[in-house]
Amino acid sequence: MGIRVKRAFKYRFYPTDAQAADLSRTFGCVRKVYNMALAARTEAWTLRQERVDYNATSAMLTAWKKTEELAFLNEVSSVPLQQCLRHLQRAFTNFFAKRAKYPRFKSKRKSRASAEYTTSGFTFRDGKLTLAKMTDPLDVRWSRPLPEGASSPSTVTVSRDAAGRWFVSLLCDDTPASMPATAEAVGIDAGLSHLVTLSTGEKIANPRHERRDRTRLARAQRALAKKTRGSANRARARLRVAKIHAKIADRRRDGLHKLTTRLVRDNQTLVIEDLTVRHMVKNHTLARAISDASWTELRSMLEYKAAWYGRRLVVVDRFFPSSRLCSACGTLASKMSLNVRTWTCDCGATHDRDVNAAKNLLAAGLAVSVCGAGVRPQRESSRTGQSATKQKTPRRKP
């Protein structure tokens, strides 16, 4: 039987003009309350060295609603306002635990427009979702049914992306369908010429989604740059740019979902390398290509899908010389530049750089699976609450 996990099911919906106005007002109030609470907590600490918790900010919200200046906060549901205070409390908890930076103020143009409703803020009955202070249910396009056995939603998050599309996300307790156990294992080497190379020798082509639309995107961005700030023409041009970006992101996410699901379904053990993408994108020559490949999202999907379906994901330390290590005899080659795609070892074996790296990653991962040596906890997944296994391999001198 599979493990019980929390899964979010995201659907697109089309609000009426009245619903869109109410939700837009709610987004603005959520942003306003979050920023005011953040300012109050920052001021209390800066001036009086006083820590303000969630209960204190909740009391502040009650007082704000009674003022004439902020009376408009009463026009929206109180549930999303309370939830944003809880989100702020979580942000400060992560900051004091040194897991995140200091919370930042929400920007009207750059921040995600969203509102979270708990069970007291919505009704979900007979496949119809109605939010608090709304009389009509949302026109949700149920592209897939909620899985059998999934509980009623515990939270509902409504959001609007930069392209003007509306989405609703339902968080449910669910038991993912189990996959049959298999003895297969695979090493996965991420790259740019090929998105991933497997230890079996298979290479998955890099779709380069951004490059396909680069001309159309550049044309739309040039048109946007020529528009006067604050004008209606600029707003329409910005929307055209956002829609192109949204289509690129949708195609990329769809491709990654299909690839990761296939890898998790076919293999019991998956081995990947711990890539520091945030450092790699500082290389301005490769930053655009690395961002388009979306290695971080690829790894995230492998992590939570492996946890859902009872697979084992092993993460090998970033300093492991997978490309320069001969998978046939174990000899470590000298420093190798990125333009070297094939090389021959002193033992006579000729290696494809990426396939050789994938084979070495698999060997390191299987060593962890057999003896458990050199394992250390990996980052915790926000979706599963569990952590992947990380192989700490000592550096080897060239």
Work out whether strand 194-198 and strand 203-205 pair parallel, antiparallel, or are unpaired.
antiparallel
Kindly report, residue by residue over 39-80, the tens digit of the pLDDT: 999 999 999 888 899 999 999 999 999 999 999 999 999 999
Kindly report, residue by residue over 213-260, the tens digit of the pLDDT: 999 999 999 999 999 999 999 999 999 999 999 999 999 999 999 999
CB-based burial label for 150 (10 Å; 0-12, 13-18, 19+):
middle
Pair 125, 192 in one domain: no
Pair 271, 352 in one domain: yes
Q: Find the catalytic residue in 22, 174, 210, 273.
A: 273
Its domain, for residue 311, covers 185-208+242-391
Region 154-168: mean pLDDT is: 95
Domain limit, last residue, from 174, 200, 221: 174
Tokens 């919200």 -> residue: 61
So what's the pLDDT on residue 395? 43
Q: Is 174 in the active site?
A: no
Q: At 56, which helix (H) or strand (E)?
A: helix 54-65
Pair 97, 197 in one domain: no
Pair 196, 341 in one domain: yes
Pair 159, 190 in one domain: no
Q: Find the catalytic residue in 174, 210, 292, 354.
A: 354
Query: How many Å apart are CA 9 and CA 172, to the nearest integer?
Result: 8
CB-based burial label for 91 (10 Å; 0-12, 13-18, 19+):
middle
Kindly report, residue by residue over 353-397, the tens digit of the pLDDT: 888 889 989 888 888 766 554 434 344 444 444 544 454 444 443
User: Is residue 136 predicted with pLDDT exceeding 60?
Assistant: yes
Work out whether strand 350-352 and strand 342-344 pair parallel, antiparallel, or are unpaired.
antiparallel
User: Is residue 341 predicted with pLDDT exceeding 90?
Assistant: no
Pair 204, 123 in one domain: no
User: Is residue 95 predicted with pLDDT exceeding 60?
Assistant: yes
Encoding tokens for residue 156? 């509902």
So what's the pLDDT on residue 371? 58
Region 69-93: mean pLDDT is: 96
Domain count, the chain: 2
Query: How many Å apart are CA 108 and CA 30, to the nearest integer?
Result: 11
Does residue 116 fall inside a structural domain? yes
Pair 165, 189 in one domain: no
Query: How many Å apart are CA 43 and CA 47, to the nearest integer?
Result: 6
Residues 6+ apart with CB under 8 A from 284: none
Does residue 127 fall inside a structural domain? yes
Pair 74, 128 in one domain: yes
Return the closest-CA partner of residue 313 out of 231, 243, 253, 384: 384
What mean pLDDT, rounded, does the chain reach?
88
Pair 277, 382 in one domain: yes
Q: Is 22 in the active site?
A: no
Does residue 360 fall inside a structural domain? yes
Does residue 226 fall inside a structural domain? no
Pair 193, 119 in one domain: no
Q: Find the catalytic residue in 189, 210, 292, 303.
A: 189
Does residue 27 fall inside a structural domain? yes
CA distances from 337 to 110, 111, 147, 191, 340 (A): 39, 40, 49, 14, 6
Pair 348, 254 in one domain: yes
Pair 194, 122 in one domain: no
User: Is residue 182 predicted with pLDDT exceeding 70?
Assistant: yes
Kindly report, residue by residue over 268-280, the tens digit of the pLDDT: 999 999 888 888 8
Query: How many Å apart are CA 373 and CA 220, to the nearest integer?
Result: 53
Q: Is 116 in the active site?
A: no
